């Protein structure tokens, strides 16, 4: 088994529990690790189409509001498994670098792993 990593996918989303987050939004960063048996051939049809994965992640992050980034991470992971039959497991990290906290924080990150 091998892994395909998509790191640093940046989107503007409207996730969070506060009304200001729903109104103004904020940047979100997503990292994925897709675990799959990869082919030894040079054929896109025989592997994970990470352009399709990117498009689906973009649609989820920018199209649906979640109060919790935990729920957002689970949705991304479930979609990756549902849409990519060659993926056997996926790890998703959702970063919320501008989380509204009462101090200096570099990043807030949630990580989930789903497997078949």
pLDDT at 98: 84
pLDDT at 45: 86
Number of domains in the chain: 1
Q: Among all residues, which ones are annotated catalytic? A: 96
Q: 5-23 burial by CB neighbour count: b if 16+ within 10 A, else e?
A: ebeebebebbbbeeeebee
pLDDT at 27: 96
Distance CA 86, CA 112 (A): 19
48 has a pLDDT exceeding 90: yes
Note whether residue 115 is domain-resident. no
Note whether residue 45 is domain-resident. yes
Rounded to two decimals, what is the model's pTM?
0.93
5 has a pLDDT exceeding 90: yes
Note whether residue 110 is domain-resident. no
Note whether residue 112 is domain-resident. no
Site of tokens 């399709």? 52
- CATH code of residue 89: 3.30.1130.10
Note whether residue 99 is domain-resident. yes
Note whether residue 113 is domain-resident. no
DSSP 44: G
Note whether residue 100 is domain-resident. yes
Parent domain of 66: 2-104
């Amino acid at each position: 088994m091998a892994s395909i990593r998509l790191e640093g996918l940046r989107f503007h989303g409207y996730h969070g529990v506060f009304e200001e987050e729903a109104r103004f939004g904020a940047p979100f960063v997503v990292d994925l690790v897709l675990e799959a048996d990869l082919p030894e051939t040079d054929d896109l049809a025989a592997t994970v189409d990470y352009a399709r994965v990117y498009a689906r992640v973009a649609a989820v992050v920018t199209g649906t509001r979640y109060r919790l980034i935990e729920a957002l991470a689970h949705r991304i992971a479930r979609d990756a498994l549902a849409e990519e039959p060659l993926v056997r497991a996926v790890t998703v990290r959702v970063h919320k670098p501008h989380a509204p906290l009462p101090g200096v924080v570099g990043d807030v990150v949630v990580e989930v792993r789903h497997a078949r």
